[in-house]
Chain A
Amino acid sequence: MRAVVSWLRGSLPVVVVVAVLLALMYPLALLLGMPLARERMGNVSNWVRGTVEALPVADATAGGERLPFGGAPEVDERLSSLERGTAVLVRDGRVVAAGVDLEDGAAVLSAPLEGPAVTLGARLEPLAAPAGSPGLAGRLHALPAGATAGAPLYLDGALLRRGSVAAVERADGVRREFTVPGAGRRDGDLPAVALVAGEAVLEGEGFELDGDTLLLDAPPAFNAPVSLVTGDYEYLDPAAGTLVVRAAVPAGAELRVAGSHVALVEGLVGPVDGENRTFRLQSTPVLETDPARVVYLGDRPLSGAAERPQERVDGARATFTFPSDRGIVTVDGREAVAGVDYERDGAAVTFRTPPPRNAALRQHPDYRVSDPATGTVTLAEAPRPGEALWAASYTFYAHPACGETAFECFLGMPQHPVPFPNWIAERLVPFLTAYPLSDPRNVVRATLYTAAGTLVSLAVGTVIGVLLAVAFVRVKPFEQALLPWVIASQTIPVIALVPVLVAVLGNLGVTVQTSLVPAAIVGAYIAFFPITVGTVTGLRSVDPLALDLMKAYAATPLQSFVKLRFPAAVPHLFTSLKLGAAAALVGALVAEVESNNRLGLGYAIIGQVQAGDVADVWILLGISALLGISLVALVGLLQRLLAPWQRTGLAADQGGR
C-alpha cells in the first residue's frame, strides 16, 4: 500500500506534464485547424445549393384578391424573406400581377384575379401495390395521359409538395446501411417511404429507420440510387409519370394534376425607371454560370448566355464579330462602355485600343451576372417603366455544407492537421482490432514485423560494429585510415540509399516488397556507428594497471582481450546498443516505406497519412514510439541478464570518467 502511494507520488509529475501536453493539443488542433475550416467555409463551391422556383397556389379553390402560398416551413421562410412589393404572379409564363405584397403567406392583389387560380386536370390513376408490399396500396399513382411531370398536384384542392433527399453513401452491392441527412426529423406517425433503384419501399416492409440511418433488408445493386421521400410525394419515373405519395390516398379523395395555374415568382429588386440596368436576385450568392437560371422581362425570357467572338484575341486585332448584334461586351469580366471603349456596327465591335492578347472577350446579348456574391445582374437595355423583371428559377448557395459555424466545419473536416486527444482515445480500439491477427493489415502484426526487422538489423549492425571496433583497437593504423570515412558515412542521408538498394536487390532477385533484407541492411548501416564508437571507448577504458598486471602474468594478447578488455567494454557496448536499437528502428521503418513493404509499420503510417484518419496516424506514431522504447528496454533487460555485475550503462560511464 505504502509502495503504491510512493509510486503514485513519484509518477505524479509525469502524469501532470502528460495531462498538460494533452490539454495543449486542443488549442493546437484549433490553431492549426480553424484557418482551414474558415477557408473551407468561405469557399462557396463547398456550400449546399438551393434552388428558387415558382410556387404554385397552395389551395386550388382559391380566387379573388387573396391567394394563399406557402404552408411548408421552408416555403414560408422563403416567402417571409422576400422584399416587400417584389413578388410577381405569373400564369403559364405570362405576368398576371407584378409588385405584389405578401401578408401571412397570401398574396394580396389590388384587383381580383380573372378566372380561377388553378384549373385542375384529370385525376391520377392509382396503381396496384406490388406483391409483398401491401402497405403501398393507395400510395402508387400514375399521371393521366397528356399531363407533364412536374406540374403541381392537388389532393382535394390542397397542394402536395414534392421532395426527397438522397443517401450520403453510394450503393456498392453489399452495403445495407445508408445515411440520409435529416431523416430523423419526422412529422406525425406517417411511415417513411424510401426510393431504392426507382422502386418505392415502405418503412417496415423493406427497411427500418433509426435516426438518420436507413437499414435496408436487402442490399441494393451497385450504384442504385437510394433516397428518402421527405415531401408529400416523389416521382418514381418522371418519364412514365409514376409517383409515390407518402400518405395513402383515401378511396373517395381527388388527386388531380393542375393544368393552367397561377404561380408566385421572385421579382428582381431595383428601380424600373427606364435608365437603371442593374437589378438584384434576392437569394445570394448565386452561381455565375447556372444552366437552371431563367430570367424574364415581362413575358419574354432573357438569355443569360455569353457569346464568344469569331476571331482570336491576339492583342493586335481591334474588330471582332459576335453572333448577335446587341448585348453587353466584357473584356476579362469588366464591362466595356459603348461609344467610349468600342463602337458597334451591327454584329461587329471595334475597340479603340485592341484588347490584350488572350483576354476573355464576351458578349452577353440580354444580361449578365455582374456580381455573383450579391446576386447583381446587369441588363443590356434598361427595362421600360411598368415592365416586370422576374426570375422563374435559379440556383444559389444556401449555407456551408460543413455546418453553420466555423467550429462545426472544423469538427466535420475529413483531414484534421492535429486531432483532439479524445478522438485518438475513441479510435484506439476500433483501429487496433480492425483486422484479424492473420491479416497483414493488422497493426499488431505490422508492429511485430517491424520489430523483427529492427532486431535482425540490430544484430547485423552489432556484429559489424563490434568487429570494426575490435579491429580499430587491435590495429591502430586501421582506425587512423578508416575512422574519418566511418564518420563521413553517417552524414549520408540513409533514406537516399534505399532506392539504390532496392534497385540493386531487385536486380539480384530479392522481392523487396516482402523481404526483411532492405530493413536489415539499412538498419545495420545506421546502427553500427554508435556501436563501433561505444565499443572502442569501452575497449579503451581498461585500467592501464590491470593491463600491466596481465603483461606481468605473461597473458597472451587474446587472453588479455577476452579476460580484461571485453568485460570492460560490455557496459559501454550495451549503452551504445540502446542508441543503436533506436537508430535501427528508424532505418527499418525508412527501408519499409521506400521499398513499399506493406507488411510493416512504416508503410502503415504512410498509408494512413495519405488516406486515413489523423487520429489513426497519431496512434501509429504512439505505437512506433512505444516500439522504440520497448526495444531499448529489451536491450536493458538483456544487459541485466548477460552482465548482471553492471546495473546501468550510465553508472559505468561515470565510473570511467
Chain B
Amino acid sequence: MAAGGALRVPARTGGLSRAGRRALGLVALTALGVAVAFTAVALQRGQPGAAGTPYWAALLGGLLLAVLAAARLSLASADAPEDPAGGALVSRLQRVLPVATVPFVLLLTWEGLVLGFRVPPGIFPSVASIGQALVRSWPVLVADAYLTFVREVLLGFAVGLLLGFVAGTLIAFSAFLRRGFLPLATAFGAVPIVGLAPVLGRALGVDWESKAAVGVIVTFFPVVLNTVQGLTSVEPLKLELLRSYAAKPLQGFLALRLPNALPYVFTSLKVAIVLTVVSVIVAEFLIPGPPSGLGQRISLSAHRGQFDVVFAAIFVSSVLSMLLYWTVQLLERWLLAWHPSARGG
C-alpha cells in the first residue's frame, strides 16, 4: 500500500538517479520481507502442531529484512543536489515507508508468535480470529459503540465542556474563587476513576447516566483549569490598550480574553476526549449494569474467555476515539486558523 502510493509520484522511471533507484529498491526489499513473513504465517495456519525451524527462519528473516530495509531507507540522506527529483522521492518515501511498515511488522509478529507457539485462543487470540470476531459481532459492536460513544462519551464530553467552560469563566473573574477552587480542582483531578465510578454508580444508578457522569467529571477539570489559565494569562499591554480604547468589560472578554483562552481550551479538549473514552469504558467495567456498551462487552467477553471479541471491541473503541481526537483537532485548526501556532504549521 505504501509502496504503491509512493510509486505513483515520479512517472519518469528512466531518469531516476542512483539514490532514487536505491530508495525504490529498499521499498521493494521491505515489501519482499513483509511478503515472506506473511507467506510463512499463511502456510503455518493450515498446519497442525507447533512450528518447525523453516517457519521461524522465514518469519524472522522476513520481518528482519523488512525492518532493516525500512530503517536503511529512513537513515539514507535525502540531500541530492544533482538530482532534485530523486531527492524529493527519497524524502517522500522516508516519510511514508517506516510508518506504514510498523503495523505490518507488529501484526505479523503477533500473528507469527501466536500461530508458531500454538497459543490457545482462550489465552491470546490471533489477528485473524480478531478480524473474524469483528465481522461476526459487527452488529452487536455497532450497537455497543452507539451506546458508549453517543450516549455516554459525547453527552458527557459536551456537558463537561459546557460546565467546565462556564465554571472556568466564573473562576477566572473572581480572585476569591481562583484562590479557593483551583487547589481543590487539582485535588479532585487526583481522585482515581476507579473510586469515582462506583460512587457515581451508587448515586445515579447503573444505567448509562452514571457513565455519562464519569465523562462529565473527566472532562470538567482539565477544561476548568485550562479555561482559567487561558482567560487570565492575557498580556497586560493588550489589556491596557483596550482600556485606553474605553472598551467595556464584555468587549474586552469577547475581543481579547476569549480568543486568548481558546488554544488553552482546545489543548485540554484533546486530552479530555481520549481520557473520557477510556474512563467511560472503565466505568462500564466497574458499574455492572445492563449488558450493553463496549466496556460491558469487553468485560463479559473476557469473563467468557472470548478474547477475540475483547480485542475486536478494543479495536472499535480505539478507532472511534482516534476519530474523535482528529475531529477535535480539525475543529481546532478551523477555529484557530488565525492563531500563530496554526499559522506556523
Q: List A residues at the B interface (Cβ < 8 Å).
A: 10, 12-18, 21, 32, 415-418, 476-477, 480-482, 484-485, 488, 490-497, 499-500, 503-504, 507, 582, 585-586, 589-590, 593-594, 602, 605-606, 609, 614, 617-618, 620-621, 624-625, 628-629, 632
Contacts and interface: CB of A to CB of B under 8 A. Distances in A.
Given A618-B199, A621-B199, A628-B192, A492 B314 contact: yes
Contacts of B70: 481
B314 A614 contact: no
B318 A488 contact: yes
Interface in B95-149: 95, 98-99, 101-103, 106, 122-124
Given A485-B106, A492-B314, A625-B191, A417 B203 contact: yes
Contact of B194 (A12, A476, A484, A605): A605
A622 to B, nearest CB: 8
Q: Which are the 10 A-B pairs with shortest beta-carbon distances?
A: A13-B180, A477-B74, A499-B302, A628-B190, A481-B98, A17-B180, A609-B198, A493-B281, A589-B194, A13-B179
Contact of A625 (B124, B188, B322): B188
Interface residues of B, number: 64
B173 interface: no
A614 B202 contact: yes
A525 to B, nearest CB: 12
Contacts of A496: 281, 285, 295, 298, 302, 310, 313-314, 317
Contacts of A490: 274
B321 interface: yes
A632 B180 contact: no
Nearest to A506: B123
A366 B193 CA distance: 61
Give the dominant DSSP class at A's interface: helix
Given A499-B303, A585-B192, A620-B195, 9 more contacts: A17-B184, A477-B71, A488-B318, A493-B277, A496-B313, A582-B190, A624-B195, A629-B187, A629-B190
A14 to B, nearest CB: 5
B201 interface: yes
Contacts of B268: none
A456 B176 CA distance: 39
A14 B187 CA distance: 12
B303 to A, nearest CB: 7
Nearest to B120: A507
A504 B305 CA distance: 11
B8 to A, nearest CB: 21
Contacts, number: 166
Nearest to B181: A17
A635 B74 CA distance: 38
A482 B70 CA distance: 13
Contact of B123 (A18, A481, A503): A503
B192 A503 contact: no
Contacts of A10: 179
B192 A586 contact: yes
B135 to A, nearest CB: 20
Interface in B296-345: 298-299, 302-303, 305, 307, 310-311, 313-314, 317-318, 321-322, 325
A606 B187 contact: no
B302 A589 contact: no
B292 interface: no
B191 A624 contact: yes
A491 B202 contact: no
Given A32-B204, A605-B198, A621-B199, A492 B318 contact: yes
B296 to A, nearest CB: 11
